[in-house]
Structure 1
């Protein structure tokens, strides 16, 4: 039996969606974030040395990393949600499967980090000196590097979704499972996405899918939906 070790408000939500789409039997073990640090609890280190989610166990097999989990589960389901090898759809599938974490997420994570720097509490006796400098550096990095890259990236995604019903054409694939988290995260963190109607329509369409709705019931609290 597949067990998903599921951390609230995390990338593992999309793995529940995938399991529902594939129709594979599974169970979910829930983990809550630390109230102060917002990090995963130490119990996850018992499952994988890095103590992160998502991670699945399937008998004596342990698989971590979203993309690796998607590939493993699709293989287990006989290739469902993966285009036929040798086709353009399969090449697109491979591209978007890796794009999600390789290209889309880094700039969103940077946005989160620099926003925290700008809003981080500091001792009162250093705040007048340090806070303006920290905020100034953060805003400069965001305006000159992070935001232009985010805008370029999501303009590209918006144009692609204007021409395709799903990321690999007319059919839902594992690439869509991977791409939903960056788009959901962007909707909550990046100003650039607010004027991208095709992305907004795509996210709304995914959220309306029966399997996605079921995954939300199973997964519990999820800030991005």
Structure 2
């Protein structure tokens, strides 16, 4: 039995969604973030040394990292579903987006989250003005322009095909969902980029996506 070690408000929601799309049976073991630090609980380190989510266990295997988990599940259980045929242009695009999601799209969004917390979080009185100025300058000079560049790029790419890998929905779209949901929550993604907003609307209407929310519980990206 596949067990998803599911942390609230995390990337593991994508894994639940994939399992629902594949129609697989699985169990969910829930973990809750610390309400003050928003960090994962120490109990997750008992599953994987890094103590992060997502992590799955399956037939004696423990596997972390969203992309690796998604590829493993699709290859082992997909039976040709949710991934383009090997050797096709669509498969190359599929592989690209599977890596792009975390390797390129997420870093500037995570930086924005960090600097937002520095700017608005509690700090010693004498330190706060300096820290706030540094955070604002970093966001203005680097982080926000990078996010804008990525969103423009993604908007353009979805002008080529309906889905990221091509004409058919694939696991690459599941992998890309998290950075785009994060961008909509805290990265400035809005109606000015209608293709990306349409993508989010379409995935949120999928029955498997809705079932995954029912299994995973509250899903609110950190802001």
In structure 1, the residue matched to 2:115 is 114
Cα distance in 2 for residues equivalent to 1:96 and 1:192: 19
Matched, 1:70 2:51: no
**CA shift at 1:216, angstroms?**
0.4
**CA shift at 1:94, angstroms?**
0.5
In structure 2, the residue matched to 1:209 is 206
In structure 1, the residue matched to 2:193 is 196
In structure 2, the residue matched to 1:134 is 131
The alignment's C-alpha RMSD in Å is 1.1
**CA shift at 1:59, angstroms?**
2.1
**CA shift at 1:103, angstroms?**
0.2
The unaligned stretches of length 5 or more in structure 1 are none
Moved more, 133-142 or 8-17: 133-142
- Scaled by the length of structure 2, the TM-score of the pair is 0.96
In structure 2, the residue matched to 1:220 is 217
**CA shift at 1:163, angstroms?**
2.5
In structure 2, the residue matched to 1:16 is 16
Alignment of 1:42-191 (within 5 A): 42-77=42-77, 78-123=79-124, 127=125, 129-191=126-188
Cα distance in 2 for residues equivalent to 1:25 and 1:187: 31
Residue pair 1:154, 1:193 contacting (<8 A) in 2 also:
no
Cα distance in 2 for residues equivalent to 1:215 and 1:101: 21
Cα distance in 2 for residues equivalent to 1:216 and 1:62: 23
Residue pair 1:187, 1:194 contacting (<8 A) in 2 also:
no
The unaligned stretches of length 5 or more in structure 2 are none
1:111-168 residue CA offsets vs partner (Å, 9 max, x unmatched): 0000000012123xxx1x3222111111111111111111011001011112321101
Aligned length: 220
Matched, 1:36 2:33: no
In structure 2, the residue matched to 1:7 is 7
Cα distance in 2 for residues equivalent to 1:133 and 1:180: 35
- Runs of 4+ that moved beyond 3 A: none
Cα distance change of structure 1 residues 47 and 186 upon mapping to structure 2, 3 Å threshold: same
